[in-house]
Amino acid sequence: MHSKGRSSRRSYPVWDYHWAPKHLVDRASAGLARWVQVIGSIATNVDRYINACDYDLEGSVIGHTILQYACNGAHTKALRMKFSTMTERELRFAFQKLDSKTELPLVDAGKCRHELDWLYGINLSRLLTESALRQGRGYATLSTGRVQGPTLGFVVEREEEISCFVPVPFWTIEATIVHDDKIYSLEYEKDKITSKAEAKSVCDECKDVPLDVKAIESREIQQYPPYPFNLSSLQSEAYRHFGYSPARTLASAERLYLDALISYPRTSSQKLPPDIGYAEILGGIASYTAYQPLVAKLMTRAYLRPNNGPTNDPAHPAIFPTGESPKQPLSGGEAKLYDLISRRFMATFADSSLKTSSRMILTHNNHRFFLSGSRVIKMGWIEYYRPYTLDDARPLPDFRIGDRAKIQGIKTVEKFTQPPHRYNPSSLLKKMEDANIGTKATRAGIIDLLYARGYVREERMRASDLADKVTDTLSTYCPLIIDSSFTANLENLMQDIQNGTASRRGVLVEA
């Protein structure tokens, strides 16, 4: 997109725009002209046109735009090729099942997203830059937008909560007992005691006294297998286990996809349909020695049924390994991510795990202490998802009701209430998802942009002084742009365009 006519980079507002080839408006993209010429020359002598770009909002817009502007309006007669993996088998199948239905609502929704992002982004970013110049801060690239604005707002708001937080002291009781040469830590019935005198009184009364085992409670807990990965849950797990940022996870997943090793990663689905061929995929990943015994165990089941989640994506299924062998050994981030995806895939077909959760209640006079433990009865899916989950076995000592245990040590510990945690890239992405701002494909890039602009720093995202000033300026002159509900409403309207219940023009006028 480009503004009509000649426009200074500092002038605003800009309302008139048109779609233009990137090489005509961006000197850095001059090399694209040759590609457009090549596509155009090839397109003059063909019998039919096929859009084989990624089957999602962005891919549909890219394919539609190329067909329209480089292929002399061929977008009106092109066929659509839909696939979720780059395996030869699926590509051949997709080529045989070309779709002639128009995807104009999908394209309109994608174009509307670009237009809204451009209109809000270009005008408000120029406003911020001009504001900085007027205050004598020199030229700096400042930016905001209908997704970037509320996302930065989340970080700044959390920083304010932390700054305003006043810690309040409280005391806890730490006590231990010894049984069969093992030390066990007890929990006092009050996890927070607001009076130091009360905490000291508890310690004085329970020091060097026997505790009576009054009760032993036990219950079985069934844990269902995890849902198949969508992009959001994959990014969350990769951050938790490897420390990968959402953007790094997406980049690694896309490389695995292009190498035909996993399915399309930009999906919100938690469902694995039967037509992907569960048994064939398991047979393929069994080429890895580490997976062979796990696959062999799954293949003895009477049927293969994944524990599908509730979320569906009409374009693509959940993320799964294709079963194809890599052309060369995987290494680094791709190897770790492939292992995570493969083990998650296997775990979804396994049985539930079964644990016993137990709690022992020990008393002295009116004081109660708890000792908690757990034991795995049936591993189930945990066996397949190791090392990304723990069995968390904590056996209780061999006590019976009526037995006594002497406290070995007891003390008070002064603590303070803590402010809310700062966001990290993973938790901020989850916040964006919960607020319905951005898309599964764009959220990671928005977070990276906050770092690039100098708005946040450190792994635990600390808002900079610049972020405070930008947010203050936007709050004064354009509060809607940092209001997540405003952006979420636009997301819903664009979904309406995609569903055919709203028009692109109508949404642009309303916005």
The per-residue pLDDT for 27 is 84
Phi, psi values for residue 435, rounded to 5°: -85, -5
| Distance from C-alpha of 157 to C-alpha of 463, rounded to nearest angstrom | 9
- Does residue 100 sit within a domain? yes
- Does residue 335 sit within a domain? yes
- Does residue 278 sit within a domain? yes
Same domain, residue pair 299 and 359: no
pLDDT interval class at 168 (50, 70, 90) = very high
pLDDT interval class at 208 (50, 70, 90) = confident
Give 88-142 pLDDT, tens digit per residue. Answer: 999 999 999 999 888 899 999 999 999 999 889 888 888 888 877 777 665 567 8
Same domain, residue pair 173 and 249: no
Same domain, residue pair 220 and 357: yes
Q: Active-site residue numbers?
A: 264
- Residue 375 makes CB contacts below 8 A (sequence gap 6+) with 355, 356, 358, 393, 394, 395
Task: Please give the distance of CA 248 from its chain centroid, rounded to a whole number.
Answer: 12
| Distance from C-alpha of 199 to C-alpha of 172, rounded to nearest angstrom | 7
Read off the CATH number of the domain in which 476 is found: 1.10.460.10
- Does residue 205 sit within a domain? yes
| Distance from C-alpha of 407 to C-alpha of 87, rounded to nearest angstrom | 64
Q: What is the pTM of this model?
A: 0.90
The per-residue pLDDT for 101 is 86
Read off the CATH number of the domain in which 80 is found: 3.40.50.140
- Does residue 113 sit within a domain? no
Same domain, residue pair 400 and 487: no
The structure tokens listed for 97 are 């099942």
Q: What's the Rg (C-alpha) of the chain?
A: 29
Residues 14-38, mean pLDDT to the nearest whole number: 84
């959220």: which residue's tokens? 443
- Whether the pLDDT of residue 2 is over 60: the answer is no
H-run or E-run covering 204: helix 196-206
Range of weakest confidence among 129-138, 193-202, 234-243, 442-451 = 129-138
**Could you give the number of structural domains in the chain?**
4
- For residues 141 and 354, the model is more confident at 354
Read off the CATH number of the domain in which 275 is found: 1.10.290.10
Give 264-320 pLDDT, tens digit per residue. Answer: 999 999 999 999 999 999 999 999 999 999 999 999 999 999 999 999 998 899 999
Give 33-69 pLDDT, tens digit per residue. Answer: 899 899 999 988 888 999 999 998 899 999 999 999 8
Mean of all residue pLDDT scores within the chain: 92
Same domain, residue pair 61 and 17: yes
| Distance from C-alpha of 328 to C-alpha of 340, rounded to nearest angstrom | 19
pLDDT above 90: percentage of residues in the chain = 77
The per-residue pLDDT for 10 is 54
- For residues 477 and 131, the model is more confident at 477
Quick check: bond before 105 cis, omega within 30? no
Nearest C-alpha neighbor of 117 from the set 439, 474, 470:
439
Quick check: 85 and 263 in contact, CB under 8 A?
Answer: yes
Same domain, residue pair 412 and 483: no
- Does residue 28 sit within a domain? yes
- Whether the pLDDT of residue 335 is over 80: the answer is yes
Domain span at 255: 231-347
Nearest C-alpha neighbor of 498 from the set 170, 220, 135, 105:
105
Report the range out of 24-33, 132-141, 247-256 with the highest average pLDDT.
Answer: 247-256
Quick check: 77 and 49 in contact, CB under 8 A?
Answer: yes
Please, where are the H alpha helices in 349-400? 382-385
Task: Please give the distance of CA 205 from its chain centroid, rounded to a whole number.
Answer: 50
**Domain closes at, from 347, 380, 397:** 347
Task: Please give the distance of CA 374 from its chain centroid, rounded to a whole number.
Answer: 30
| Distance from C-alpha of 370 to C-alpha of 175, rounded to nearest angstrom | 10
- Whether the pLDDT of residue 7 is over 60: the answer is no
